[in-house]
Amino acid sequence: MAAEGLWTVQFSMSEEVQGGLQVEEEINRGGVLVLTGNRLYGGGISFYFIGTYKETSSGITITVNATRYNDIVTGHFGKLNEGRFIFNGTVAGKTMKLQGHVEDNPDKKMYITAEQRVEL
């Protein structure tokens, strides 16, 4: 599958097109994801991630359980210590673009741009 591998990720809180230009609110945080056998593992500076993914001909769907393991940096959504996120997006070559939200709160959105570093 095209998505299997080690990915570096950058998170942003909003994404929109203004005057023909794509604008993102960067939060200057990133992490890594490993996708293999429809399972996802990874982490960032304050959270670790465990989840699943499914690829189809039209894109990829990812479900992530994020758990805080330290308080070095405040999370994107304040004092959230655990959260389940649902993402949908595309994989094109070594680039993955995802948009998602907290499972029980679609207003808490997050966008991910990822670059595949190692293919499995």
- What CATH number is associated with residue 91? 2.40.128
pTM of the entire structure? Answer: 0.85
Query: Residue 18 falls within a domain, yes or no?
Result: no
For residues 53 and 62, what is the distance between their CA atoms, to the nearest angstrom? 4
Query: Residue 72 falls within a domain, yes or no?
Result: yes
pLDDT given at position 29 = 75
Query: Residue 54 falls within a domain, yes or no?
Result: yes
Query: Residue 65 falls within a domain, yes or no?
Result: yes
Residue 28 and residue 45 in contact, taking contact as beta carbons nearer than 8 Å = no
**pLDDT < 70 regions, the chain:** 1, 14-28, 74-78
Query: Residue 43 falls within a domain, yes or no?
Result: yes
Q: What is the number of domains present in the chain?
A: 1
User: The tokens of 118 are what?
Assistant: 């190692």
Per the structure, the complete domain to which residue 102 belongs is given by: 5-9+32-119
pLDDT given at position 26 = 52
pLDDT given at position 75 = 66
pLDDT given at position 1 = 65
Residue 33 and residue 42 in contact, taking contact as beta carbons nearer than 8 Å = yes
Q: List all residues 6 or more positions away from 25 whose beta carbon is below 8 Å from its beta carbon.
A: 12, 13, 14, 15
